Amino acid sequence: MAHLQYAADTARPGTADVRCGIYEELVSINVSGNASDGAITFKSYPGETAVLDATHFTPSGRQGVLTIHNQSYIRIEDVEIRNFHTAEHRLAPLLPEAIGGFMHNSDVTCRAFMKLTAATGASLTMPSLGQAAVSPSDKMIGIQIGAISFVDEGTEKVLDILQERGGVNTLFLAVFTYGRGIAGRQIPGYPLPDHGRQVYDLNYHGGNFATPHPQYYKNTVIQPQHAPDHGNLDILEEVLPAAKKRGMKVICWMEDVFRKNLPNIEQVQERDLHGRNQETLCVNNLNYRNFFSGLVEDFARSYDVDGIMWGSERQGALCDSLGATHDTPPIDPGEVTCFCQFCYKTARERGINPDRARQGFLELEKFVRASRNGKRPSDGYFVQF
Ligand SMILES: [Zn+2]
């Protein structure tokens, strides 16, 4: 065919084969399939590769190489898109539903299935708008997800959505944390997503969203605790069989965020520069290490999981003191950690003088405090520091 746009204006349900060739067009799909006759599939003719080349086009606004607006039952398979440059860097070369809103003011469901093949030299960005999805892949396509999503919307429904819209084949399931960040709903004050329950979970508690087995937590004062948020729900028992049936992998995700009112927690908390307890726990404290090695063993022996993921990102006292963190406001330079007895012992074993290190951080505290109060060193920060 001479122009892809012709097919995009006239195709009927079934497969519209696109012959081998390089098509220099910006294509707008103006047809729909339907539930009874099925989808319209635009795909390369068997054994050939059609290429949509956008070298000579400079799209404006939210224009894409392939724009699908208010159409449904469309599939695009095995068509290579190359040399596309977006007007805005966030945009994707394929923009189903991007024009006119994201499902809100549309009465049709548009699902575009696209396999983005090699795109040498193209400034492609990942689809960030619309419903672009990928075909089943040998590569890991994962998503981080908490128990609350399955509770709110139903396990099978959530898995359907992840598979159909994202081609997801791996779940990074938040199983242990007392933190809301990876296991709760949206952070209060931020906009709720366009699906799920439209309320903030202000009573979030956290803990182990599966079932802790006490035999694995013997050499630690930290007590294993089932997260009370969803009654007796064991999220691994709930999700594992459903995911396996679909060939999806489940990776247990855990992070070291604890509540400050847990029994014995003060024995494991870090000590800051001035010897005060902080909410974070100390990695050089054996109670901490034994708790997490017990948790890992519990996950591995009690459930048929595909892996365990440790999270999340942490950094040391120097960056914390300087305020080089995503915390708002930044951590107080007097509250940097850790100066507990176990860290002192570990430092000495490694030939580090912990008292001298502490002196250095006390000086840094003064420097940072002065800086935050607007007292700029006369020689500039880098020279003085
Ligand atoms: Zn410590």
pLDDT in tens, 307-333: 999 987 788 999 999 998 877 788 999
Residue 82 has pLDDT above 50, yes or no: yes
What are the residues whose beta carbon lies below 5 Å from ligand 1 (ion)?
282, 284, 338, 340, 342-343
Distance 364 CA to ligand 1 centre (A): 19
Model's pTM, two decimal places? 0.65
The whole-angstrom separation of Cα 163 and Cα 150 is: 14
The whole-angstrom separation of Cα 183 and Cα 174 is: 6
Distance 293 CA to ligand 1 centre (A): 18
Q: Where are the domains of the chain?
A: 1-135, 142-313, 315-385
> What does the block give as tokens for 149?
């999503």
Beta-sheet strand order (sheet of 50-53):
21-23, 50-53, 79-82
Distance 268 CA to ligand 1 centre (A): 8
The pLDDT value recorded for residue 335 is 96
The whole-angstrom separation of Cα 266 and Cα 221 is: 10
The pLDDT value recorded for residue 203 is 93
Distance 380 CA to ligand 1 centre (A): 33
Whether residue 98 contacts residue 130, with contact meaning beta carbons closer than 8 Å, is answered with yes
Distance 285 CA to ligand 1 centre (A): 6
Distance 281 CA to ligand 1 centre (A): 8
The pLDDT value recorded for residue 105 is 26
Distance 325 CA to ligand 1 centre (A): 20
Average pLDDT of span 246-266: 97
Write out the E strands in 45-178. Answer: 50-53, 66-68, 74-77, 79-82, 94-96, 142-146, 170-177
Distance 330 CA to ligand 1 centre (A): 21
Q: For residue 115, what pLDDT band results from cuts at 50, 70 and 90?
A: very low
Distance 226 CA to ligand 1 centre (A): 26
The pLDDT value recorded for residue 87 is 53
> What does the block give as tokens for 299?
């996950």
Percent of the chain at pLDDT > 70 equals 83
Average pLDDT of span 150-157: 97
Distance 49 CA to ligand 1 centre (A): 59
Write out the E strands in the chain. Answer: 14-18, 21-23, 27-29, 40-44, 50-53, 66-68, 74-77, 79-82, 94-96, 142-146, 170-177, 207-208, 249-255, 269-271, 277-281, 307-311
Whether residue 44 contacts residue 78, with contact meaning beta carbons closer than 8 Å, is answered with yes
The pLDDT value recorded for residue 329 is 84
Distance 215 CA to ligand 1 centre (A): 26
Cα-flanking dihedrals φ and ψ of residue 124, to 5°? -80, 145
Distance 360 CA to ligand 1 centre (A): 17
Name the range with the highest mean pLDDT among 5-19, 118-132, 335-349: 335-349
The pLDDT value recorded for residue 59 is 62
